[in-house]
Amino acid sequence: MSAPRARRELLIATIAELLVGCRHVAVGAASPIPAAGALLARLRDPALTVSLLGSAAHNAFTDGGKELFDCAAQGRIDAFFLSGAQIDGAGNVNLLGVGGRWPRLERRFQGCFGAPYLAFLVPRLVLFREEHTPTTLVERVDFVSAPGTSPPGVHRPGGPAFLLTGRCLFRFEAGRFRLLRLHPGESLEGVRAATGFAFAADGPLARTAEPDAATRALIRGPVARALADAYPRFAARLSG
């Protein structure tokens, strides 16, 4: 089994674990690994509702993001995934652009859409970035699209709960990240060198468990088939 495929399967299995206890999970566009993890979680818990934006088979919404936002405002979305060009040590996410400071950014992206709204409302917000480098995980983002913490006196049911990367899993606690697990083959020293922000780490650190044969069979079989309408190429790579 190739290293990239094994790492994708490990991330998918980890995401499914982070969704245990949820009733309704929503996944935005361009998020194949979180989508696969949500579908794996649903196989294990058929009562779980999964809404994949951009999917005809796994999305009951008929009016796009508006209904997703309404559900979040009503407390009917338990988990959502958020990524960005940059994520910093305070849990802030940048989806707008990099290089300099707003409004002078060297590279601009599409923007945040509903990211700040959902970040304030969804109780289990999982930050996800497969690439784990000092340029993606930074001390301070160049622009705050979705804040990690709230100003004093602002009630916020949502906010970051975890940050999952291709190297490790962090938990967000008291406004900073704490290293929770190292993925196989990773070391604390290697993760510190690859991370642009300081984080807490208590030893001995746990290791992310490799998915067992039954989990791999689910990912390569029913998960890949269910994912095919939204992400056909990614689903083909999953199925092998």
| C-alpha distances out from residue 29 to 59, 150, 173, 207, 220, Å | 12, 26, 27, 30, 21
State the pLDDT at residue 183. 97
For residues 146-153, average pLDDT: 80
Spatial neighbors of 216 by CB under 8 A, at least 6 apart, are: 9
DSSP assignment of 124-183:
EEEEEES--STTTEESS-SS-SB-SS--TT---S--EEEEEESSEEEEEETTEEEEEEEP
DSSP H helices, 45-141, are: 65-73, 115-121
Task: Output DSSP code: residue 64.
Answer: T
Spacing of C-alpha 60 from chain mean position: 22
- Top-confidence range, 18-27, 48-57, 93-102: 18-27
State the pLDDT at residue 101: 74
Q: What is the mean pLDDT of the chain?
A: 91
What pLDDT is attached to residue 140? Answer: 94
pTM recorded for the entire structure: 0.93
Q: Decide which of 156 and 124 is more confident.
A: 124
pLDDT score for 98: 85
Measured distance CA(216)–CA(223) in Å, rounded: 10
Burial class (CB in 10 A: 0-12, 13-18, 19+), 103: exposed
* Pairing status of strand 200-207 against strand 93-94: unpaired
DSSP state of 107: E
As a whole number of angstroms, the distance between CA 23 and CA 77 comes to: 8
Mean pLDDT of the 29-51 span: 96
Q: What percent of the chain has pLDDT over 90?
A: 69
Find out whether 82 and 88 touch, Cβ atoms under 8 Å: no
